[in-house]
Amino acid sequence: MKQKQVLFVVAECQKFVQTGGLADVAGSLPKAVNGISRAYKVRVIMPLYRTIIKKYEKKLKFLGSTTVSLAWRHLYCGVYTMKLDKIDYYFIDNKYYFDRDEIYGHYDDGERFAFFSKSIFDSFSIIGFIPDIIHTHDWHSALVNIYLDILYKKNGRFAEIKSLFTIHNIQYQGIFDLSFSDDIIGIDSTYCEIIEYNGLINLIKGAIVCSDLVTTVSPRYAREITTAYYAHGLENITRIYNKKIVGITNGIDIEFYNPATDENLAVNYTDETIEHKQQNKAALQASFNLNPNLDIPLICIISRLVAHKGLDLVVDQFEEIMKEKVQIVILGKGDSYYQDKFQEFMRRYPGRVCTLIAFDINLSKKIYGSCDFLLMPSKAEPCGLSQMIASRYGTVPIVRAVGGLYDTVKPYNDGEGGGFVFKEYSGSEMTSAIKEAINLYNNKDKYQELMKKIMRTDFSWNVSAKSYLQLYKELIKNK
Ligand code: GLC
């Protein structure tokens, strides 16, 4: 049987450029799927950002160029490729759109990713294959599924392509005013109904309508987004299309995140040598100006500093939490409100709080490998990876039972589950969970048992990659 080709279309991917969890998934799921099946081959395509050119200039190979039409524009599109960790990556080049310092946050992001999405179809003749399945992620590539359905399914060569759309976070929908349709993406008003929602263009809505299948990054989130609280206005759409929305929990790359080999740690350890982890804690306390004390529980927050991560609860409860014997490390960047608050806490509690405003994978690994607890009180959490990464490093998660956190962290309950869990979005509930965690920490034997248990839990992609493969097969079967 001929090998089936799957093309991942993403705006970010680990080892190239990363601002959040999407890049983790794009960087590890293709490898996992390719690892379990020869019948399917996943490759990845993304924009050629400035940082990628800088990092991989010598490895990138130019494949060819073409002209892409986007409404009235005719735009240069170069295609590059390189192989990394056995995966074939392709890159769409257009200096005007992508040779910039930041990958998002520009006034013309809509146009930039519309160009990227449109160029995918023009790139097939250059990359040398037409995918059987296109698998897109979040609003940046949602237009691919829309173009496929509206424009290209009518074209003989592309008519057979199936499309899968993964929602990593329904909060970011790709919303633009109505002129976007005609002027930027070149879709005329006949199709407006598909991409219009509440008087605006909404790309996530369009992708849900146009895709053959939709996934969310956890089963719980698939259910949550049919309710108004979590759907950010799209609940009517997710309810109508509920049958084609499937939740598959993300995994993590357990080689990339491995305390036994991680070079960022002062000392490596496994579940059997877990006592060594204390040396990392000592090193971290020393380098982060925290009081040297191995008996005091060290809690970390490793997160984008944005509201849906539940940081209001942390800000509100900070004084209350600091009444306990604890130290806190915060690593992340985002809204200046939270950045300022957490920096203020560091000034207010010298030796007890350390705030680092950065997105830094290596530093995050060092922190996972040195702390006792991870706090993740999210208001909404499509999947969440930090709780799984923390567990892999024996760092016990304290989470709100929402989305993927609900699916991956079961309440400790005297040894049953792998973390501390609270339900309501309430500061006092969060603080009670933290106190419960500290209580257990003071019972060294039980705490160690829990650390070992979570380190042994399988958070790899094994199970989820099989589920994706199953979906790919279903899509092909229905061809
Ligand atoms: C988004 C979500 C997060 C998820 C990640 C990867 O960043 O907010 O919950 O883990 O995507 O799917």
Q: What is the pLDDT of residues 383-401, one digit of tens each?
A: 999 999 999 999 999 999 9
Distance (Å, whole) CA 80 – CA 75? 16
User: Which residues span the domain enclosing 316?
Assistant: 271-456
> Is there a domain that residue 125 lies in?
yes
Give the pLDDT mean for 138-158.
94
Query: pLDDT-derived band of residue 479, with 50, 70 and 90 as boundaries?
Result: low
Task: Assign 478 to helix, strand or coil.
Answer: coil
> Is there a domain that residue 264 lies in?
no
Considering the domain architecture, whether residues 183 and 111 belong to the same structural domain is answered as yes
Distance (Å, whole) CA 285 – CA 298? 9
> Is there a domain that residue 40 lies in?
yes
Considering the domain architecture, whether residues 247 and 336 belong to the same structural domain is answered as no
By CB atoms closer than 10 A (0-12, 13-18, 19+), residue 347 is: exposed
Considering the domain architecture, whether residues 296 and 224 belong to the same structural domain is answered as no
| Total tally of structural domains belonging to the chain | 2
Considering the domain architecture, whether residues 218 and 310 belong to the same structural domain is answered as no
Residue nearest ligand 1's atom 7 by CA: 21
How much is the pLDDT for 252? Answer: 96
> Is there a domain that residue 263 lies in?
no
Residue nearest ligand 1's atom 5 by CA: 21
For a ligand 1 pocket test, name from 168, 249, 461 the mutation site with the most ligand atoms within 8 angstroms of its C-beta: 168
Considering the domain architecture, whether residues 303 and 378 belong to the same structural domain is answered as yes
Q: What is the 3-state secondary structure (H, E, C) of 226-238?
A: CCHHHHCCCHHHH
Considering the domain architecture, whether residues 418 and 452 belong to the same structural domain is answered as yes
Considering the domain architecture, whether residues 183 and 81 belong to the same structural domain is answered as yes
Across all residues in the chain, what is the average pLDDT?
97
**What is the DSSP code (8-state) at residue 115?**
H
Considering the domain architecture, whether residues 227 and 172 belong to the same structural domain is answered as yes
Residue 37 pLDDT > 70, yes or no? Answer: yes
Query: pLDDT-derived band of residue 155, with 50, 70 and 90 as boundaries?
Result: confident
How much is the pLDDT for 1? Answer: 76
Residue 441 pLDDT > 90, yes or no? Answer: yes
How much is the pLDDT for 250? Answer: 98
* 438 touches ligand 1 (CB under 6 Å): no
* 249 touches ligand 1 (CB under 6 Å): no
Do residues 358 and 329 touch, judged by C-beta distance below 8 A? no
> Is there a domain that residue 257 lies in?
no
Distance (Å, whole) CA 294 – CA 292? 7
How much is the pLDDT for 190? Answer: 85
Give the pLDDT mean for 229-245.
97
Do residues 259 and 394 touch, judged by C-beta distance below 8 A? yes
Ligand 1 centroid–CA 293 distance in Å is: 34
Considering the domain architecture, whether residues 422 and 467 belong to the same structural domain is answered as no
Query: pLDDT-derived band of residue 143, with 50, 70 and 90 as boundaries?
Result: very high
Considering the domain architecture, whether residues 184 and 304 belong to the same structural domain is answered as no
Task: Assign 355 to helix, strand or coil.
Answer: strand
Here the CATH number for the domain that contains residue 412 is 3.40.50.2000
Give the pLDDT mean for 221-250.
98
Considering the domain architecture, whether residues 200 and 177 belong to the same structural domain is answered as yes
> Is there a domain that residue 260 lies in?
no
Distance (Å, whole) CA 159 – CA 157? 6
Ligand 1 centroid–CA 405 distance in Å is: 11
Pick the closest to residue 43 from 93, 102, 86 (CA basis): 86
H/E stretch holding 109: helix 109-127
Give the pLDDT mean for 320-337.
98
| For the chain, percent of residues with pLDDT exceeding 90 | 96
For a ligand 1 pocket test, name from 166, 385, 459 the mutation site with the most ligand atoms within 8 angstroms of its C-beta: 385
By CB atoms closer than 10 A (0-12, 13-18, 19+), residue 337 is: middle
Pick the closest to residue 443 from 372, 386, 361 (CA basis): 372
Q: For the beta carbon of residue 145, count every other beta carbon within 10 angstroms.
A: 27
Ligand 1 centroid–CA 386 distance in Å is: 10
Each residue of 80-137: pLDDT tens digit?
A: 999 999 999 999 999 999 999 999 999 999 999 999 999 999 999 999 999 999 999 9
Taking CA atoms, 473 is separated from 4, 29, 198, 212, 287, in Å, by 9, 16, 35, 12, 50
> Is there a domain that residue 294 lies in?
yes
> Is there a domain that residue 298 lies in?
yes
What are the beta bridge partners of residue 166? 137, 215
* Range list of H helices, 217-335: 219-224, 228-231, 235-240, 277-287, 311-322
Instruction: Please name the residue that has the structure tokens 């310092």.
Output: 101
Q: What is the DSSP string of 15-47?
A: TTB-SSHHHHHHHHHHHHHHHH-SSEEEEEEEE
Q: Which comes out higher in pLDDT, residue 47 or 189?
A: 47
Pick the closest to residue 303 from 326, 323, 328 (CA basis): 328
Ligand 1 centroid–CA 264 distance in Å is: 24
Q: Which atom of ligand 1 sits closest to the CA of residue 168? A: 11
Considering the domain architecture, whether residues 29 and 79 belong to the same structural domain is answered as yes
Pick the closest to residue 217 from 244, 246, 249, 194 (CA basis): 249
* 219 touches ligand 1 (CB under 6 Å): no
Each residue of 194-203: pLDDT tens digit?
A: 999 999 999 9
